[in-house]
A = this chain, B = another copy of it.
């Protein structure tokens, strides 16, 4: 209860405050005997460092901010986990905020982070031209854009090549001998979705007799996928696809359910199915789901590393843009079909 500061510790140990501080921060500068007395005083008084005072003195905090689009999305949770692990290794901690696609919340978190004097900000922006981005940059706060490819020379960025991922997914379906492919594409406004679609188109263009039908859905949820799957299963036999590429795993899981629940009696052949993201649940579905894996934790790690490089390099450091390649994970849904 009685607020115990470094001053009380010094008094108790019979040394000056400077020495206590040294004992804590550079023990090698303090004689062994003194060190022990200080340690003991700390123990007996139950002293706890005051972080606010350290920060005030240091001018900067020991944390970084991270704003994601949606904490409920397992993709972002995993990226955050990677960032958290990498930060912990160098003694930083991560303040996690979620914008929920709301520019106001995005700004509110940026404000908070500025007031906390974070070392830097990891940021999955809603729009590239967020006004908050400019502001932070003018103030010289290091920034790394996450899952947001850009050529902007002002910011570093880390992202995964979604065009390549889309192409990879559809090429795999084509290699299974499939030719009539449907893509469940989600909302066209989302950048990631648009790029995956573009990749799918490229893959199909390389095979003369292949056809791609792009089917937008209102959202990227299990329920939408299920409705879409049921609708596909309900089609006349000659209109049915022989393969489906879903823009993310939630859609794919739903589609799998829709196809097998309502469609079985009318279907003549199994449909090859592949999703995107390789969330944990993908391997646990009734028919294990093929998917495109993104290096989620690595993304978070790398983002932190780039941020630290910027902190170290000062404002003169060049922006680095890191694009990772996704990876095909083949399970039964695309080979045996569903």
Contacts and interface: CB of A to CB of B under 8 A. Distances in A.
A93 interface: yes
Interface string A289-319: 0000000000000000000000000010000
A96 B66 CA distance: 12
Contact of A284 (B50, B59, B140, B222): B222
A223 interface: yes
A112 B226 CA distance: 44
A93 B59 CA distance: 21
Contacts of A281: 222, 281
Interface stretch (A113-121, A153-161, A163-171): A113-121
Contact of A115 (B51, B56, B81): B51
A55 interface: yes
A217 interface: no
Contacts of A125: none
Contacts of A93: 112
A46 B117 contact: no
| Size category of the binding interface on chain A | 35 or more
A77 interface: yes
B222 A51 contact: no
Most B CB contacts (10 A, CB to CB) among A51, A61, A140 go to A51
A236 interface: no
Given A56-B56, A93-B112, A112-B93, A117 B284 contact: no
Contacts of A140: 1
A116 B63 CA distance: 12
